[in-house]
């Protein structure tokens, strides 16, 4: 059955983000521009192609005409100055990481620019070629990582939700959920959510070695206005494309979610992920019934232990 669910193996790995990167250098000081270009030209590991312009207008034109992996931006240009320089460029190229260049006297402005969306800033004259290349590479990688975590719309009909229910505690349900989610991600390279719905003793966060101050309960409490930005703040990511939402550490029975809240959250998730692997906990409860209705297929996990088999036999008619 797992083979049927998994699908095909993807093609080879992606190229390294910093390799052959095209950089747009926006700098009106010819000496500073030449020094930056020479510093990047000496790099042997990370190869950069640098295109230099000296005005904001010329930078916008270049961005409309071709692809660039990052922008090195001086905030003081003949036709733009300060924070407006960054905002104007971000409007032109919202999907390209920007690293700000600044002098010592403008460092506070550069820090503010980072708060407003720049990936990083560098102080002119204090950065050698290796540091410049490393900071550019990290800026590109951070941006790619964030973009990968941006929740993409998946037609709900294409999402498959797999529920795993333990006949009793200790039969390995959570471990199987972790292995299944990881296998689905590795073999399909499609978006996978590993969801811990065992509110009694959820351990998926521990098993996957992630920590989060938020849980599925936070999503349920925001069910009527759940959107991509809120969801991204709640999840943890073990690797690109494999997200994890943990169970609450303890549940106040007065805050138990309603069936409608579960329905709303799963409707959102089915439009977000290609695969959802849900640990439904152990035994049968009203919550289990609500969650089972959101699963395309539910597996009952048991062992050969007599007590586990007895509980499994009692659960089967309810499923």
Mean pLDDT score across all residues of the chain = 80
pLDDT over 70 at 164, yes or no: yes
Q: Which structural domains are found in the chain, ordered by start?
A: 21-149 (3.40.50.2300), 156-318 (3.40.50.300)
- If we measure between CA atoms, which residue out of 51, 18, 31 comes closest to residue 124? 31
**Quick one: pLDDT band at residue 112, thresholds 50, 70, 90?**
confident
Instruction: Tell me the torsion sign for CA atoms 296, 166, 235, 201.
Output: positive
The mean pLDDT value for 45-59 works out to 88
The answer to whether the pTM exceeds 0.85 is no
- If we measure between CA atoms, which residue out of 37, 40, 71 comes closest to residue 56? 71
pLDDT over 60 at 6, yes or no: no
Instruction: Tell me the torsion sign for CA atoms 94, 95, 96, 97.
Output: positive
Instruction: Tell me the torsion sign for CA atoms 38, 42, 46, 48.
Output: positive
**Cα–Cα distances in angstroms (integers) from residue 271 to residues 173, 264, 303, in the given order:** 26, 11, 34
**Quick one: pLDDT band at residue 278, thresholds 50, 70, 90?**
very high
Residue of higher predicted confidence among 310 and 103? 310
| 121 contacts 95 by C-beta, under 8 angstroms | no
> SS3 for 193-250, per residue?
EEEECCCCCCCHHHHCCCCCCCCHHHHHHCHHHCCHHHHHHHCEEEECCEEEECCCCC
């Amino acid at each position: 059955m797992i083979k049927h669910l998994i699908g095909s193996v993807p093609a080879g790995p992606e190229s390294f983000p910093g390799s052959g990167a095209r950089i747009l250098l926006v700098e009106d000081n010819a000496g500073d521009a030449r020094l930056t270009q020479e510093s990047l030209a000496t790099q042997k590991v990370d190869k950069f192609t640098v295109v230099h312009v000296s005005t904001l207008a010329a930078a916008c034109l270049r961005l409309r005409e071709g692809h660039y992996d990052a922008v090195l931006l001086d905030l003081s240009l003949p036709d733009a100055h300060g924070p407006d320089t960054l905002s104007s460029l971000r409007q032109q190229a919202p999907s390209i990481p920007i690293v700000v260049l600044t002098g010592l006297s403008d460092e506070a402005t550069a820090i503010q620019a980072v708060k407003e969306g720049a990936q990083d800033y560098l102080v002119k004259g204090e950065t050698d070629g290796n540091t410049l290349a490393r900071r550019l590479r990290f800026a590109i990688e951070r941006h790619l990582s964030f973009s990968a975590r941006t929740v993409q719309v998946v037609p709900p009909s294409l999402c498959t939700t797999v529920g795993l229910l333990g006949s009793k505690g200790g039969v390995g349900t959570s471990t199987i959920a972790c292995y299944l989610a990881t296998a689905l991600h590795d073999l399909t390279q499609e978006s996978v959510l590993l969801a811990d719905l065992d509110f009694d003793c959820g351990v998926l966060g521990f098993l996957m070695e992630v920590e989060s101050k938020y849980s599925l309960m936070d999503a349920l409490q925001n069910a009527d206005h759940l959107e991509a930005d809120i969801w991204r703040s709640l999840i943890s990511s073990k690797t690109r494309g494999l997200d994890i939402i943990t169970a609450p550490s303890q549940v106040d029975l007065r805050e138990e979610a309603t069936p409608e809240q579960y329905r709303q959250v799963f409707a959102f998730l089915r439009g977000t992920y290609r695969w959802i692997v849900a640990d439904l906990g152990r035994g049968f409860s009203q919550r289990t019934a609500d969650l089972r209705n959101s699963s395309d297929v539910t597996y009952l996990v048991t062992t050969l232990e007599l007590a586990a088999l007895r509980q499994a036999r009692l659960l089967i008619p309810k499923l």
